[in-house]
């Protein structure tokens, strides 16, 4: 295996292990990683349309309507008509979704701390690693969705 193939499979392995660990941590909340991502995004941009939500999702390409319908059914997200556009439906978190967000904050904080500790052991900076990883997703659908989220939540 050459070094570039190794890097490719390391990225895949990191993603799979990270998703497995995140799924395990979310299990007591009865959430999937995709649902957690929706909750996180809605906490930052609610109320919003399904189209706008979809433009911020990394976990899913295309329309997230099935995912949202499931979350509405589970009482995490509510749909309301837009006061500005009779055809548009606005999505926002319910009280149950807001409660799940509080638990999600704890889980994500622990996950981010573990990532930070692992990076610190490497001797590289988080910024160097992030800049390198951005090169893989720049001008891609997932990269663009992540950039929109980053631009929306970035603090000066």
pLDDT along the chain (156 residues), means of 10: 94 94 96 96 94 89 87 97 88 98 97 93 91 92 90 65
For residue 21, what is the enclosing H or E element?
Answer: helix 3-26
Q: What is the pTM of this model?
A: 0.89
**21 and 111 Cβ atoms separated by less than 8 Å:** yes
**111 and 22 Cβ atoms separated by less than 8 Å:** yes
Phi, psi of 77 (to 5 degrees): -130, 145
CA 62 → CA 11, 66, 70, 134, distances in Å?
23, 11, 16, 22
Say whether the peptide bond before residue 47 is cis (omega within 30 degrees of 0).
Answer: yes
């Amino acid at each position: 295996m050459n070094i570039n193939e190794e890097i490719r499979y390391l990225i895949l392995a990191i993603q799979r292990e990270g998703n497995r660990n995140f799924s395990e941590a979310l299990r007591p909340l009865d959430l999937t990683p995709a649902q957690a991502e929706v909750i996180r995004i809605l906490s930052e941009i609610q109320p919003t349309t399904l189209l706008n939500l979809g433009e911020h999702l990394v976990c899913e390409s295309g329309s997230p309507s099935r995912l949202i319908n499931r979350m509405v059914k589970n009482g995490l997200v509510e749909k309301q008509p837009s006061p500005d556009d009779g055809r548009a439906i606005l999505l926002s978190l319910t009280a149950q979704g807001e409660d799940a967000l509080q638990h999600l904050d704890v889980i994500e904080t622990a996950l981010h701390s573990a990532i930070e500790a692992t990076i610190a052991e490497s001797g590289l900076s988080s910024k160097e690693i992030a800049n390198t990883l951005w090169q893989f997703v720049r001008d891609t659908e997932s990269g663009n969705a992540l950039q929109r989220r980053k631009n929306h939540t970035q603090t000066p």
